[in-house]
A and B are shown apart, each in its own frame.
Chain A
Amino acid sequence: MRVSFANRATTGAGVRSFTLARILLLSLMSLAATGCTVSLVAPYDETTVTSVTDLLKRTDMFLIQQQSLLDSGQQSKTTYENNKAWYDQTEVDLNAIIIRAQAIPKNDTTVKQLKNLEAALQGVIDNNKAGFTSEYLALERRIVDQAIGAILAAEFSKKQP
């Protein structure tokens, strides 16, 4: 017995395939209307890569310097008050990167990654207020590198061949 498209759409598996068919049809209609290729994520953005790479270098340098100061017995130079200017500048820089990323359509995952980085930076600030240790800084640098590396990996994946 031949089952019509309308009848199949009322059965269990039929409802799913009918829904899929509707999505495909709507996608094709949308394509026909725009005449464009499909875009599910924001295009590759060189500025994001450059600014996030700069942030990675600056943060790594900061954490290494703090560790060196502690290891050479200069703890008084690693206080929060001493580092406040660096934190302020870094928060401004990161905020600018986030706002710019938010302005790019279909860039939600990158924005979420940057906000995670912002939260991680807040963790460093809170720890600095309580007092750094060399071992804490070594671990924190390792983790920050992972967090920033993932942002860069996502951005590079958007590069078209």
Chain B
Amino acid sequence: MPDNDLIANKKVAYYAGCFANYYYPEVGQAMVKVLQKNGVEVIVPDQVCCALPMIAKGNTRAAYKNMKHNVKMFSEATASGYALITTCSSCGLMIKRDYPRLLGSEEAKQVSENLYHFSEYLLKLDEIGELDIGFQPIPQTIFYHTPCHLRAQEIGSPTVKLLGLIPDITIRHISEECCGMGGAYGYEKVNYELSKDIAGKLYAEIGENPTDRIVTDCGGCKLQIEAGTGLKVAHPIILVKEAYDL
């Protein structure tokens, strides 16, 4: 069981993952600002790719090296009382579910049990009365896309609940259709048409449910939806930051 005391410590080690680091740094910046707004101490330990895309493409040896590196850095953080969070649902699933299974170490289990999706963590802060809920209203309608890898974490819909705390926001539609991207899967020539075909149902849902904004927790889903619809997609932490007027 996760060590819930780590939540009360209000100390967080943030695993940004490749997407927030290299392609969408606004997500990482917003995450840090939101945590600091809530009086949470943030560290960003030395980290490498979670290894999910490496295993997907068969780079097994390097993947194990990466997993071990991350486990070492983040188990040290938990030992020092830091809860672990990530803004990426795919990195989150990999660390929560696959690290302990593939590495089989006590440290990997420790890291897995203390890692939270960012919205899961913020809701836990709210449960103990430590989340600042003085949000500015955002009078907008939202199409929320649940990433497959967040659904697979079996933690319910923490992001929807978190966004629900923001005044005047209306989650008009929640989609669980797969976007077909699967990391680099949708980029590959061999999968491109299939990936587009899978995404077709999601695009149709978006077309049938026009909203002010489209929101998803996954970088891959964001890119796929933007490429297929021409619409902008935001990470939910961006909305939380806006609601704090940061």
A binds B: no
Interface residues in chain A, defined as those with a beta carbon under 8 Å from any beta carbon in chain B = none
